[in-house]
Amino acid sequence: MATAPVELSWDGPLAVVTLDAPPLNLFDLEMVTALRAAIAEVRTSPARGLLLQARGRAVSAGVDVNLFATLDTVTGTELWADWLTMIHDLESLPFPTVFAAHALCLTAAFEISLACDLLVAAESARFGLVEIVVGLTPSMGGPQRLAERAGPARARELVYTGELYDAATLERWNVVNRVLPDDGFAAAAHAFALGLANGPTRAHAATKTIVRTQVAGGTRAADEVTPQVSGALFGTADLQGAVASFLADGPGKATYTGR
């Protein structure tokens, strides 16, 4: 009996979504359907954080090229519109999302990683948008999200060349947030994501709203939403408890429930 290509598990408030379609975690219709279902389940759960990771010798070798042989102009347009909806669903989750890349991370997986709030990578991880080998451009939001992180010139370079880039280079370019040692990478990435999930969830959601507004409309647009978004936090149990903890015991002692 075949196993599902995506696994959803939990560690307290942290949802863990794992790509598990050996040997290369190729993206096909089944993989995307399963990933979309996992994201939907996480959205309706009491999750306060998400870790998206992969199992096997590669994060993913990209999209199964057999799929492209079945597409024409109409069905190709429909496919990308559908898959971008999944990207938007991932981006709109109201809590921190972390993508952990332990090894080779190509095309669709790389684009999905860019839809997460933070991208952590093992020292030996490699990344690439290699769609030029089939005459395609990355179409799950990768170029535009690379441009947000690294600037338009770097985004064009990655796509035009189709080259592989190491984690340290992409950290310098602000694409990767943190490079962690290969040894113990999975545990370290999990601990990092769990720490965020155990934080002030409503405050993290406010941060996401402010940053996304700035990206879309500039600093003044973010300034417009900040007073209301941040002011609402004074009505949360987490802020009230953290203020009381700070005054009684000093900083760093508060715990949060996400309320």
Give the max Cα distance, the chain: 65
Q: How many whole angstroms separate alpha carbon 68 and alpha carbon 45?
A: 34
Across residues 207-215, what is the average pLDDT?
A: 97
Across residues 23-29, what is the average pLDDT?
A: 96
For the segment 148-175, what is each residue's pLDDT rounded down to a tens digit? 999 999 999 999 999 999 999 999 999 9
Whether residue 2 is predicted with pLDDT greater than 70 in this model: the reply is no
More confident residue, 83 or 3: 83
Q: How many whole angstroms separate alpha carbon 170 and alpha carbon 258?
A: 32
End-to-end CA distance of the chain: 42
Whether residue 83 is predicted with pLDDT greater than 90 in this model: the reply is yes
Residues in the chain: 259
Across residues 52-63, what is the average pLDDT?
A: 97
- The partner residues of 122 in beta bridges, in order of sequence, read 180
The answer to whether domain 6-197 has CATH 3.90.226.10 is yes
Domain boundaries, the chain: 6-197, 201-249
**pLDDT-derived band at 1, boundaries 50, 70, 90:** very low
Q: How many whole angstroms separate alpha carbon 163 and alpha carbon 57?
A: 20
**pLDDT-derived band at 106, boundaries 50, 70, 90:** very high
Across residues 225-234, what is the average pLDDT?
A: 98
Neighbours of 32 (CB within 10 A): 21
pLDDT score recorded for residue 38: 98
Whether residue 53 is predicted with pLDDT greater than 80 in this model: the reply is yes
Across residues 64-81, what is the average pLDDT?
A: 97
Across residues 237-242, what is the average pLDDT?
A: 98
pLDDT score recorded for residue 3: 82
pLDDT score recorded for residue 176: 98
Please choose, from the candidates 159, 192, 165, 188, the residue with its C-alpha nearest in 3D space to the C-alpha of residue 105.
165
Across residues 59-77, what is the average pLDDT?
A: 97
User: Is the preceding omega at residue 251 within 30 degrees of 0, hence cis?
Assistant: no
Q: How many whole angstroms separate alpha carbon 34 and alpha carbon 185?
A: 25
Across residues 116-130, what is the average pLDDT?
A: 98
